[in-house]
Structure 1
Amino acid sequence: MQRKLIILFLGLVLALFAGCSNTPGQEQDTTELTISAASSLTDAMKEIKTTYESQNKDVTLTFNFAGSGKLAQQIQQGAPLDVFLSANQKWMDKLEKQQFILKETRFSFTGNSLVLITKQNRHFDFSSIQSIQLSDEEQLALGDPASVPGGMYTKQALQSINKWEDLKAQMVYARDVRQVLTYVESGNVALGFVYASDALISDRVKIISQVDQSLHQSIIYPAAVLTASANTKEAKAFLDYLKTEEAQEILESYGFEKKQP
């Protein structure tokens, strides 16, 4: 009997010790925020993730990067997300109209510009998009204007200078601006339209021309908390962080424009 009591006592002590030292138990108190963000934000958001998590030990950021149109469609289909960071106002407007976002949390957190790029070792005689000339074998890549904001801005710019129809037969549509960058880096296409922030991260491409911003709608990135979020408080706190000087400086270092909400 005494032996059984001793064994029972030791078992309780070991169980208590295991419970006190169980680090996985701490993970249960961690909130995971799932954030859908435009693909052009990939590198900047990876650094923001590291910085934010180091300051907020109880929050983990998980990012889903893709073209803004694709992300908006996922939200419309009920994807379990907390935050949406779009590369244009159009898709955020649609989600707001359909009540997929909390309107009061919406704000514009950064901006960008459009550039024409080519592979580092290629040479073209023109220096502006008004003078673009391609041989029959050469192609021009851009995001699909129907779903990718970068492609939409490109179409607006080329239509403004009456170049859209002239170049249409040689266009290759990409699922997002990062795919455009890959096409140009690999040499599969001669030219591509990407954001300045995308051109900045690659040493395999060079900028031929900055696109005059008067030729297209302003490139503004809005953010908002989703109505379906189960972590509204933490999601709002993350958006507040995007407004800080620290976050704005990170975005600027990746080629984005500082924005005052």
Structure 2
Amino acid sequence: MPSAVAFFLIAVVFVGSISTAARARDITVFAAASLTNAIETAAATYEKETGDTIRLSLASSSTLARQIAAGAPADIFISANEKWMTWLNDQGLLVPGSRHDLLTNRLVIVAPKDSNLSPIKISDTSDLTTLIGPNDRIAVGDPDHVPAGIYAKQALTSLGQWETVAPMLARTDNVRAALALVERGEAPIGIVYQTDAGISDNVKSIGTFPENSHPVITYPVALTGDQSETKAMKFLLWLLGDDAGRIFADYGFEPVATTQANVPGK
């Protein structure tokens, strides 16, 4: 086991040393909007099993990271990319040894369910602008700060399409807002995660970006609150374990690793 993980797990042994006030606290989780359905199910399952209360705040990773940096009382942060987790770490706002890669995802193009668009193979010879009309836009999380949009820009740049596509984008505050534009028919196509496409009955996936066109889509998780808050530690360990992994897999995510078997007392 990596030394950082060992250091983190040792802290869980000290359950009996936390204060009564800490025991009474709810667990506040700031999570990327693309995790909405999966993390809501995971939190509800954990609450039923333990009696602890999970409070969720769901938004773009960039928005959540800035809120944490401004003093928002989050115990756990799950980002949709490495950038915003590293940004918090550089400011000394993560609990040492608590950061782990939790999940991975894929980037896809979606269209309304009743669209006449057929499945396509996305490559450096395809032209996404041929899928939309002259006055239409491609829905996407804002590439300036939303992880899904950042990945989209990286993929389009790699495929030599960014300069052509950039003026045709409808930029949104988070990936779920981009999905909603396509669901409502306000955009003929959108670039979202495959998990977003999977939870919607109103869109269909028509293409998947090549894995080598962008960095691996990774969701890191870490503690951002008081290191002595053992409730948050235990929930984070549960998120990294098999039970939570099965829930995330049901929503199309791929769990990166499990550590539950190494939790003292399990």
Give deviations 1:124-169, integer Å, cap 9, x for gaps: 2561332321321221011011221000000000011111111122
1: CA distance between counterparts of 2:177 and 2:227?
Answer: 32
Change (3 A) 1:94 1:29: closer
Shift of 1:203: 1.1
- Whether 2:249 is the aligned partner of 1:255: answer no
Q: Secondary structure of 2:101's match?
A: strand
Question: Quick check: 1:37–1:63 contact (8 Å CA) kept in 2?
Answer: yes
Of 111, 134, 137, which residue of structure 1 is paired with 2:135? 137
SS in 1 for 2:170: strand
User: Superposed, which structure 2 residues align to 1:37-76 within 5 Å?
Assistant: 37-57=31-51, 59-76=52-69
SS in 2 for 1:104: coil
Identity %: 35
One-letter identity of the residue aligned with 2:127: S
Give aligned pairs, total: 233
CA distance in 1, matches of 2:77, 2:23: 24
Q: TM (normalized to structure 1)? A: 0.85
Answering whether residue 205 of structure 2 is matched by residue 207 of structure 1, we say yes
2:80 matches 1:87: yes
Q: CA deviation at 1:210?
A: 0.8
Kept in 1, the 8 Å contact 2:104–2:217? The answer is: yes
The match for 1:128 is 121
Amino acid at match of 1:150: A
Q: State the secondary structure of the residue aligned to 1:103.
A: coil
> By how many angstroms is 1:54 displaced?
1.2
- Cα distance in 1, alignment partners of residues 228 and 117 from structure 2: 51
Alignment correspondent of 1:241: 238
Q: State the 4+ residue runs in structure 1 displaced beyond 6 angstroms.
A: none
Give the conservation status (yes or no) of the 8 Å contact 1:82–1:231. Answer: no
In the alignment, which residue of structure 2 is the partner of 1:187?
185
Report the residue type matching 2:54 in the other structure. L
CA distance in 2, matches of 1:87, 1:108: 10
Which residue identity is paired with 1:89?
E
Structure 1: which 5+ runs fail to align?
Answer: 1-26
Map of 2:103 onto structure 1? 110
Q: In structure 2, do the counterparts of structure 1 residues 92 and 219 end up closer, same or farther at CA, with 3 Å as the change threshold? A: same
Q: Deviation string for 1:84-114 (max 9, x for gaps)? A: 0000111111111110111300001111111
TM-score, normalised with respect to structure 2: 0.84
Q: Could you tell me whether the CA contact under 8 Å between 1:225 and 1:232 is conserved in 2?
A: no
Counterparts of 1:154 and 1:67, CA distance in 2: 15
Work out whether residues 138 and 190 of structure 1, in 8 Å CA contact, stay in contact via their aligned partners in 2: yes
1:171 alignment partner in structure 2: 169
Q: Which has the higher Rg, Structure 1 or Structure 2? A: 1
- Counterpart CA distance in 2 for 1:103 and 1:218 is 24
Give the AA of the match of 2:58: F
Give the aligned partner of residue 98 of structure 1: 91
CA RMSD of aligned residues (A): 1.7
Does the C-alpha gap of structure 1 residues 28 and 74 become closer, same or farther in structure 2, counting only changes over 3 Å?
closer
Letter in 1 for 2:230: K
List alignment gaps of at least 5 residues for structure 2: 1-20, 259-266
